[in-house]
Amino acid sequence: MPQPTFERRPPQTPPVAFLAVTADTLVAADFRPRTRRRPPGPYRRLLATPGARAFTIGNLMARLPMGMFSVSAVVMIAGTRGSYALAGAVTATGLAATALVAPWTARLVDRHGQARVAVPATLIAALGSLALLLCVRHGAPAWTLFASYAATATTPNTGGMARARWNHLLKGDADALHTANSFEQAADELCFMLGPVLAAFLCTALFPQAGTLVGVVLLVSGMLLFTAQRATEPPATRPRPSAKAPLRAPGIPPLLVVCLAMGGVFGAMEVVTIAFADAQGHRAAAGVVLALQAAGSCAAGLLYGAMKPAGPAEHRLPWCVAAMTALLTLPLLAASLTGSLPLLALTLLIAGMATAPTMVTTMTLVQQRTPEGRLNEGMTLAVTGLLGGIACGSAAGGWTVEHTSAAAAYGIPVTAAALALMLTLLPPRRATARMTRDAAAFR
């Protein structure tokens, strides 16, 4: 008769374990309930990438001033010179200079590396902001304000450089890259939501130059921290002689025109909302109302990044733009039918939820269609298209407010979104042929 055998448990076996007897075996069994750890979410896995948290913190520090500088400049110039026209003209000059200089800066970043180009370019931009501050404070001639603010055009595209790092680290993992793009879009919305509020607070609570000064400190320190993370920096690449420039790459020109139309949405919405709040006697609340729109976009971007996208990005883009067009009719109806600012704020919160998914999908297509080694330049061209659209939308929104009403001017963002939708629905070959002529404006 075989002798029973015993399986010894390790010393750490808790005393609640008891013996279970079989026909010829005596074993120790532990029937305590075991808790299962919940798998980490997509954003936790994303930030667990080696080096990701360090460059993300630096990039967010450097990106926050992007929402501060224009507001700070307007408050600073208008407060000391007493002219909003001069303040608007100076900031418009800086926007136009950025549209011209930014693609060249991005090309240098791709060719020579982020650290070698971004740091000196940031220092030049910081000196431009400080020069503007000194010129305003000491009453320098008006032309010096234009020259100083134009020098800030060398500011690198911090969001584009962060996306380029994610593309380098997550190459081959489409789901993780989708999450990264959504995270970066949410970060953009967060910075442009908090930046103007912080700038207005600093300029009014401390002194008119405080917003610009704090913005410079954040920009330089954040960029130094970001570029110090050399392990995650994508390698510098020299494009092959036969490689096409991003502007001439197949599928890029139509995307740039779509970005131009979507920029019209953002530019018109900002001007019209400020005018509507002013007409209601609550101009100070305009910033809060616009912040709600950005908050809706930020929340939707994070949710969109946690989801697994269905189908290719070129098929998702028309649906995203269609949703944005439909939701933008809500502010138009709220302003035209009720004239209620709180209801308008609620509709803007809802309408903003379509912005981030649309921008994430657009940037994904830009990444897919940009030639290898020119990613930062391609994404900067998309941002340039947005800036051009913002300028056009602001002008169209302001003209409509003056000649009709602020409520009717909410039709401008709807029109711009509908134009973007029509462009996304064009057949690819026809769109490329038709848009190449329009894209020449970006050269």
Residue 13 confidence (pLDDT): 47
Residue 322 confidence (pLDDT): 92
Which of these, 259, 47, 216, lies nearest to 123 by C-alpha position? 216
DSSP single-letter state for residue 404: S
**Residues 150 and 92: beta-carbon distance below 8 Å:** no
**Residues 351 and 296: beta-carbon distance below 8 Å:** yes
The CATH number linked to 124 is: 1.20.1250.20
Residue 107 confidence (pLDDT): 81
- C-alpha 428: how far from chain center: 26
CA-based angle 353:354:360, to the nearest 5?
110
Which has the higher per-residue pLDDT, 233 or 214? 214
The two three-digit tokens of residue 95, written as one number? 């926007």
Q: Are residues 264 and 116 in the same domain?
A: no
Which has the higher per-residue pLDDT, 379 or 346? 346
Residue 242 confidence (pLDDT): 53
pLDDT digits (tens, 9 = 90+) for 53-108: 888 888 888 888 887 887 778 778 877 777 667 777 787 778 778 878 888 888 88
Q: Which of 202, 220, 238 is the last residue of a domain?
A: 238
Residue 21 confidence (pLDDT): 46
Residue 105 confidence (pLDDT): 85
Q: Where are the alpha helices (DSSP H) in 281-374?
A: 286-306, 313-333, 341-351, 355-369
Residue 330 confidence (pLDDT): 92
What is the average per-residue pLDDT within 337-362?
A: 86
Which of these, 63, 69, 89, lies nearest to 203 by C-alpha position? 69
Q: Are residues 233 and 296 in the same domain?
A: no
CA atoms within 13 A on the CB side of 443: 9
Q: Are residues 281 and 422 in the same domain?
A: yes
Percent of the chain with pLDDT over 90: 7
Q: Is residue 1 part of a domain?
A: no
pLDDT digits (tens, 9 = 90+) for 422-431: 988 876 554 4
Q: Where are the alpha helices (DSSP H) in 141-209?
A: 142-150, 158-169, 174-205
The two three-digit tokens of residue 87, written as one number? 């303040």
End-to-end CA distance of the chain: 93
5 beta partners: 25
Count structural domains, the chain: 2
The two three-digit tokens of residue 138, written as one number? 């000491």
6 beta partners: 26
Q: Which of 216, 238, 260 is the last residue of a domain?
A: 238
Q: Which of 238, 256, 282 is the last residue of a domain?
A: 238
Kind plus residue range of the DSSP H or E element containing 164: helix 158-169
Residue 122, SS3?
helix
Q: Is residue 29 part of a domain?
A: no
The two three-digit tokens of residue 371, written as one number? 């030639």
Residues 6+ positions from 413 with CB-CB distance below 8 Å: 264, 265, 268, 269, 272, 328, 331, 332, 393, 397
CA 301 – CA 67 distance, rounded (Å)? 18
Q: Are residues 322 and 384 in the same domain?
A: yes
Look at residue 214 and tell me whether its pLDDT is greater than 70. yes
Q: Are residues 61 and 184 in the same domain?
A: yes
Q: Are residues 89 and 117 in the same domain?
A: yes
- Domain containing 79: what range? 52-238
Q: Is residue 109 part of a domain?
A: yes
Residue 439 confidence (pLDDT): 40
The two three-digit tokens of residue 189, written as one number? 């919305």
CA 228 – CA 49 distance, rounded (Å)? 17
Q: Are residues 165 and 266 in the same domain?
A: no
CA 400 – CA 335 distance, rounded (Å)? 14
pLDDT digits (tens, 9 = 90+) for 19-36: 444 444 444 455 555 555
Q: Give the pLDDT band of residue 254 (cuts 50, 70, 90).
A: confident
pTM: 0.71
pLDDT digits (tens, 9 = 90+) for 145-203: 888 888 888 888 888 888 888 888 887 777 788 888 788 877 877 787 777 778 777 87
Q: Is residue 139 part of a domain?
A: yes
Q: Is residue 150 part of a domain?
A: yes
